[in-house]
Amino acid sequence: MNGWSLVERFVTSLVVMAAVALLTFMLIDLAPGSYVDELSANPQISPATLARMRDQYGLDRPFYQKFWQWGRSVTEGDFGYSFVYQRPIRQLVAERLWNTVRLNLAALVVAWLAGMALGLAAAAARGSAVDWTIGAVTTILLSSPAVVLAIVLLACAARSGVSLGSLFLPVAAVAAVWLPAIARHTRGALLSALDAPHMLAARARGIGHARLLLVHALREALNPLTSVVGVSVAALLSASLPVEVVMSWPGIGQLTFDAVLKRDIFLVVDLVQLSALLLLAGNTAGDVLLHALDPRISRA
């Protein structure tokens, strides 16, 4: 990607993130109640204190004014203050961000390694019982929500005595969400490459099936698979949020869930922005990788 493309991508990302923030403020404003309204049920908190909190944080302002106030603070490096945790949001996110990044990086590696291995096995045994079994397993995984997979894994772990505090279970649950799609894309890309005329000619010249599959076909299948990298990052991040809640993993997902339930609006907006930023970064990384591997796109 040339310099102008990167600048254009950067500007577009800023516009998307601003639109996401504005939409988040609007949706929060449409939802009934607020954090201060819940505090009003406590007789120990005076109406004057509640009125002061509304005025201090601008909770009675229209959503676009809240967005403008938040945007000015962010440009100054101030990401706001959490009502619930009574701490700067920057500190809360810094404590939990690495846990979510670690979970998603591990899940991404597992999903791609296992998915490509299953895709290779299915392509190598096209039409056999192995191919059918892999297709059936991936179909079941594709139709199972991340929350269901997390609950099933928790139940299996409880029976087998696996530690529930380890990274293994969350990684397995998140990776299982995108693993079947990678396996199917790998199988389809390999079979498409194997059915190409030059592959048939190579087979006629005596090149073995294993070398044809693992060297020639796999090399040609990398380009279409690269375009899936950005989508897989987005899918894994979306799946990791409910998995973190179900498995009590101390990451961004658990923090987002608590913030939404307790109507901690500025924390919600900041976490949504962080999720959008990670998704955009994943898509950009996929595009850069595709340009690096495919010279035809690089010359375009």
Question: Torsion angle of alpha carbons 204, 206, 210, 212, nearest 10°?
Answer: -50
Is the Cβ–Cβ distance between 279 and 4 less than 8 Å?
A: no
3-class secondary structure, 78: coil
Is the Cβ–Cβ distance between 294 and 220 less than 8 Å?
A: no
Please report which confidence band the pLDDT of residue 126 belongs to, taking 50, 70 and 90 as the band edges: confident
At residue 204, the pLDDT reads 72
Is the Cβ–Cβ distance between 221 and 190 less than 8 Å?
A: yes
How far, in Å, are 107, 169, 182, 197 from residue 24 at the CA level? 28, 31, 32, 52
Q: pLDDT of 196-209, one tens digit each? A: 777 777 777 777 77
At residue 133, the pLDDT reads 93
Domains and CATH numbers, the chain: 3-89 (no CATH), 91-299 (1.10.3720.10)
Assess whether pLDDT exceeds 70 at residue 298. no
What's the alpha-carbon Rg for the chain, to the nearest Å? 24
Residue type (1 letter), 94: A
Q: pLDDT of 73-88, one tens digit each? A: 888 888 888 888 888 8
Is the Cβ–Cβ distance between 154 and 246 less than 8 Å?
A: yes
Assess whether pLDDT exceeds 60 at residue 300. no
Please report which confidence band the pLDDT of residue 32 belongs to, taking 50, 70 and 90 as the band edges: confident
Question: Torsion angle of alpha carbons 143, 147, 152, 157, nearest 10°?
Answer: 140
Across all residues in the chain, what is the average pLDDT? 81
At residue 293, the pLDDT reads 60
Please report which confidence band the pLDDT of residue 3 belongs to, taking 50, 70 and 90 as the band edges: low
Lowest average pLDDT, out of 95-104, 232-241, 265-274, goes to 232-241
Is the Cβ–Cβ distance between 134 and 182 less than 8 Å?
A: no
What is the C-alpha separation between 185 and 192, in angstroms, rounded?
Answer: 10
At residue 236, the pLDDT reads 75
Is the Cβ–Cβ distance between 215 and 172 less than 8 Å?
A: no
| Residue 19, phi then psi, degrees to nearest 5 | -65, -40
Is the Cβ–Cβ distance between 268 and 175 less than 8 Å?
A: no
Helices (H), 125-205: 129-142, 146-160, 168-194, 197-204
Strand partners, 88: 81
What is the C-alpha separation between 142 and 137, in angstroms, rounded?
Answer: 9
Assess whether pLDDT exceeds 60 at residue 50. yes
At residue 132, the pLDDT reads 93
Q: pLDDT of 152-194, one tens digit each? A: 888 887 776 666 557 888 898 888 888 898 999 888 888 887 7
Give the tokens for residue 117. 């291995």
Lowest average pLDDT, out of 29-38, 110-119, 250-259, 291-300, goes to 291-300
Q: Which has the higher per-residue pLDDT, 95 or 215?
A: 95
* Threshold 0.85, pTM exceeds: no
Please report which confidence band the pLDDT of residue 118 belongs to, taking 50, 70 and 90 as the band edges: very high
